[in-house]
Amino acid sequence: MFTEENKTIVRRFFEEGPSKGNLTDADELLSPDFVLHVPLPVSPGIKGIHEVIITCRAAFEHLNVTVEDMIAEGDNVAARFTARGIHKGDFMGLPATGKPIMMTGIEIFRIENGKIVELWGEANLLGLMQQLGIFPSPGNTG
């Protein structure tokens, strides 16, 4: 029972936060003690997830994040996602290229009392950089 409720919370977070940029609604799903673990140079906690969402939405026009799979056990929900958009703004020091992007990733959420208390995120940033022309794709030596 709780696993389905937890999955609903995670799905709503993806829809409101990354896909819509609605920080107020996304914040309702976060515990005040929220802890963020991502491989990006961001502030801790809720401020950090705001920075991730704002930065990504500014860099990628029409950003939409689709949850492809979710697995829940106990207080944890793992979500595999695909983010799509068009690189129209600065991202990690890279000026806009106008190129479409598709990035995959996995995030693991820990939920207590109906709130997200912790998030561990990993995304295919190398694949993203290859799409934007920063690194060559495998088999493409130039």
Residues with Cβ within 8 Å of 55's Cβ and at least 6 positions away in sequence, in order, are 91
Six token digits for residue 43: 């502030």
Taking only the tens of pLDDT, the chain with its 142 residues reads 589 999 999 999 999 999 999 999 999 999 999 999 998 889 999 999 999 999 999 999 999 999 999 999 999 999 999 999 999 999 988 999 999 999 999 999 999 999 999 999 999 999 999 999 888 877 765 5
**CATH topology for the 2-131 domain:** Nuclear Transport Factor 2; Chain: A, (3.10.450)
On whether the pTM is more than 0.85, the answer is yes
Task: Please classify residue 107 by burial: count the beta carbons closer than 10 Å to its beta carbon, then call 0-12 exposed, 13-18 middle and 19+ buried.
Answer: buried
